[in-house]
Chains A and B, each alone.
Chain A
């Protein structure tokens, strides 16, 4: 059933989130806030080398230390191979097992080797120093282009490049090659009057969630385990733990703690399998947390990238051909988001001829994990910089040039599918009309624009709605609330029931209390889990109508549901939710509504950003003066949290563009594994971030929802770089645009001009 925009009473308002008071008073329990009687503390020994063969591990001295109750190494992890279906993309269990605890080789600085559980954190840390590990240090390679060279040090002797027929004989660091696109780019380039070609690079950056990974695990002698942990999906934690440890899913109950930020980085396992093994060996609960240094060194950043982009256009501004090669760093094991980068980077454009080649390349860095629209920010940085340069070469307004070539309904996306109704042109139009775009700039100030796209995902969600005896409603769903989703679930249910949102209490169930749910990620929760909650609520309304019919002794067809009550023509007074609930026992028992779906029709999100900067020519410092993000949300269920996703994505994008990067020493050790020198934006670095929410409804969702969580991080890298160009005339083709780099570029530009 779809709901007319005009008649909505709850959806679109800004209620206080139901879990809010606990969060502002410190009651909310995050991963590390849970403890159990008799609990031990677990700590992990990590490799000091970027690449080495493990020749031996002697844990005897550590085991002998008083207070140490268990020690595990990679050998304890059941040899697991094949792949686990983690909902979104298959994860190679064999690689995951080797990433959780190294087996025969350590592949990056910080790679986990062994773990200790002891009666105190202090003893656990002391015991780590007593583990003797023999290393045969090997040469390492960090840079993605270096790693692709034939003579580069090889990480995996048994890796042969996929996507090349016949399969190559010699092993390589290139895990996979892929090509997407259509048409004939050579023909297209031949027709172009102007062609711009650029090489651009980005550094590894981390999701930067403020909560380090944390969990408590306990397993009883009959093999039944319980895990409390902060994650983006308790079901993926359950599935990966059970498969890595050869346990049955029903024996691994994962209870979701509140999650202190994830952005894609908490959709896999690091500590949970180790805590379970330590608990099994010690027969006691084990708490494990990571220090900030461990989070940086050993949990997935997103890929550094090396990209070539070439775009040609005719004098009148039509793009005739576009091609790109994306070389993405995967870290120690294959799995960079280069596929998504290939598919998303040109998506804002209506192209005839496009060819994109992607390489997934392993290097001696931590295994890459998803980071908000994985791959798209890197790809968009390259494409949107070249588009900006092309517009200038054709002396066209950058927004007009993007609108002329903009993707719209009927456009064939680079990955081949034809777009249904999308909001790209609406965003570009709103950009052109926005006062920000028409405002004046001062000396050494510049303005940049950039477009962004993300697919948004549907996937599996299950929801149960229970009508309580007093007519209040309990919504049970399976997605950790990372940005206010409890509020949107309660709002959507309240709209269907026609009751006040305070009458609906959402609860996030553990893996034993509800069927499988895909992760909170892929911008899917408000869309897919929202759809399940709406369908479950509608199912409950049908039950309520049947009960009302029974109470009134009328046909159910004569009962209508309106404003939280059943109405029928022959009765003056309606039967409210509370009236019906009170009689539930007599009319058939407790009233529930259920839905379990694989949500289809996730609507893609388009977005356009405007960024103004001022550059200090004497120090190379860049200040963000003003920022406006314009994005199609289909329908904003809770506008404050839609705006919050946009503002947060912009802040992460600005950090990525200006100051964030993994800095490695020559021996492959991370030099800045902390918030002091891994410089994320602080409050005084940013202005207010203005947001414009465009609503081009997605017909596949009852309220028209499109995912909003990931698209906002896609444009800022290019928007900032284009603004810096506009300010000081220097094209920065490598991120981050740190002050030393920008000052050197300004000097070079000045020298060349003289």
Chain B
């Protein structure tokens, strides 16, 4: 199971206020699909090109197909532009 943390107001806006959700999924794509089943409409937001994902502290700017280890911490957040 992956521990998804919806930071800031993502939970309030798209997941009935839930901030931490446990879902099954061995890749970011599957985690998003699982979240979509629980909260229809959230997938579009989480896979928007301007979102990045952090898996156990490592940030991936484009991590849709990244593997998600068991009991990993998965956080979605705005993508970062470098200077």
Which residues of A come within 8 Å of B, CB atoms? 83, 85, 87-90, 163, 165, 178-182, 207, 263-264, 267, 337, 339-340, 342-343, 355-356, 370-374, 415-420, 455, 457-459, 519, 521-524, 598, 600-602, 700, 710
A180, B57: Cβ atoms closer than 8 Å: no
The interface centre, meaning the residue of B7, B9, B19, B73 with most chain A CB atoms within 10 A of its CB, is B7
Chain B residues, CB < 8 A from A419: 57
Which of A163, A337, A416, A418 is B81 in contact with, Cβ under 8 Å? A337
A88, B80: Cβ atoms closer than 8 Å: yes
Please measure, in the bound complex, the distance between the C-alpha atom of A416 and the C-alpha atom of B62, giving whole angstroms: 17
Interface contacts beyond A343-B78, A417-B54, A602-B58: sample of 19 additional A-B pairs, CB < 8 Å, sorted by A: A88-B82, A90-B79, A163-B9, A178-B8, A180-B8, A182-B8, A264-B82, A264-B83, A267-B81, A339-B78, A374-B82, A415-B54, A415-B77, A416-B7, A417-B73, A420-B57, A519-B82, A523-B82, A710-B83
Residue of B nearest to A340 (CB): B80
A415, B75: Cβ atoms closer than 8 Å: yes
A700, B58: Cβ atoms closer than 8 Å: yes
Chain A residues, CB < 8 A from B54: 415-417
Chain A residues, CB < 8 A from B50: 89-90
Interface flags for B44-83 (1: CB within 8 Å of A; 0: not) read 0000111000101111111000000000010101111111
Please measure, in the bound complex, the distance between the C-alpha atom of A179 and the C-alpha atom of B11, giving whole angstroms: 10
28 contacts between A and B (CB under 8 A): A89-B49, A90-B49, A90-B79, A163-B13, A165-B13, A178-B9, A181-B7, A182-B19, A207-B83, A263-B83, A264-B83, A339-B78, A339-B79, A339-B80, A340-B80, A343-B78, A356-B8, A373-B83, A374-B81, A374-B82, A417-B58, A418-B57, A420-B57, A458-B61, A459-B61, A522-B81, A602-B58, A700-B58
Residue of B nearest to A337 (CB): B81
Chain A residues, CB < 8 A from B75: 415-417
Please measure, in the bound complex, the distance between the C-alpha atom of A163 and the C-alpha atom of B13, giving whole angstroms: 9
Interface flags for B1-19 (1: CB within 8 Å of A; 0: not) read 0000101110001000001
Chain B residues, CB < 8 A from A180: 7-8, 77-78
Beyond A180-B7, A417-B54, A420-B57, whether A85 also contacts B80 by CB under 8 A is no
B5, A416: Cβ atoms closer than 8 Å: yes
Please measure, in the bound complex, the distance between the C-alpha atom of A340 and the C-alpha atom of B61, giving whole angstroms: 13
The A-B contact count (CB < 8 A) is 117
Which of A355, A523, A700 is B8 in contact with, Cβ under 8 Å? A355
A417, B81: Cβ atoms closer than 8 Å: no
Chain B residues, CB < 8 A from A710: 82-83
Chain A residues, CB < 8 A from B7: 180-182, 415-416
Residue of A nearest to B76 (CB): A416
The interface centre, meaning the residue of B19, B49, B73, B77 with most chain A CB atoms within 10 A of its CB, is B77
Please measure, in the bound complex, the distance between the C-alpha atom of A83 and the C-alpha atom of B51, giving whole angstroms: 14
Q: How far is the CB of A267 from chain B (nearest CB, A)?
A: 8
Beyond A85-B49, A598-B62, whether A457 also contacts B82 by CB under 8 A is yes
Please measure, in the bound complex, the distance between the C-alpha atom of A83 and the C-alpha atom of B49, giving whole angstroms: 9
Q: How far is the CB of B12 from chain A (nearest CB, A)?
A: 8
Q: How far is the CB of B56 from chain A (nearest CB, A)?
A: 7
Please measure, in the bound complex, the distance between the C-alpha atom of A343 and the C-alpha atom of B51, giving whole angstroms: 13
B80, A179: Cβ atoms closer than 8 Å: no
Chain B residues, CB < 8 A from A374: 81-83
Which of B5, B49, B73 is A182 in contact with, Cβ under 8 Å? B5
